[in-house]
Amino acid sequence: MNQTPLHVLLADDDEDDRLIFKDALEEVKVKTRLTLVKDGIQLMEYLEKTEDEYPSIVFLDLNMPRKGGVECLREIRSDKRLRNISVAIYSTSASEGDIEDTFIKGANVYIKKPNDFGSLVRVLEEVITINWQYHNSDLNRENFVLSL
């Protein structure tokens, strides 16, 4: 059954990570279309200027040159127009402190980058499906937290 594809955006400075993410996302059952940016500056410029609909979910790498993930998260959460975007932190580190801290700052999802392709597909499948539910079932996004 066809559905309007869910708009997904990934901000990550590592080219390999972007490619793997793209391939993994294509394996996910929910139909998506992906926008890729290389760092936080590009991300915020994209959100500022785009005439396209906003992404439903943005995946943020924490460590990026010029502007990192936490900074972007703060800017996204303080902009009324961007409130409805789900933010997923996509990071190599996963200390309890980091995780709680980003949730408190308004992240919806925290993903520790998996080491193998299969796990990444599974993780994305879960995040995208749940996000799709929030997108389509009028759930309260403020209460949307998911740690993987």
Residue from the set 17, 34, 71, 106 that interacts with other proteins by CB under 8 A: 106
3-state secondary structure of 21: helix
Q: Which of 107, 112, 97, 91 is nearest to 144 (CA)?
A: 107
Among 13, 30, 42, 71, binds other proteins (CB under 8 A): 30
Judged by CB under 8 A, the stretch of 14-22, 64-72, 82-90, 134-142 that binds other proteins is 134-142
Binding mask 54-83 for other proteins (x = CB under 8 A): --------------------x--xx-----
* Segment interacting with other proteins, rule: CB under 8 A, options 14-22, 56-64, 83-91, 101-109: 101-109
Q: What gap in Å lies between CA 118 and CA 30, rounded to an integer?
A: 17
Pairing of the two strands 146-147 and 109-112: parallel
Report how far apart, in Å, the C-alpha atoms of 128 and of each of 16, 18, 62, 77, 105 are: 21, 17, 20, 20, 21
Residues lying near other proteins in the complex (CB under 8 A) are found at 1-5, 29-30, 53, 74, 77-78, 100, 103-106, 110, 129-130, 132-133, 136-137, 139-140, 142-143, 145-148
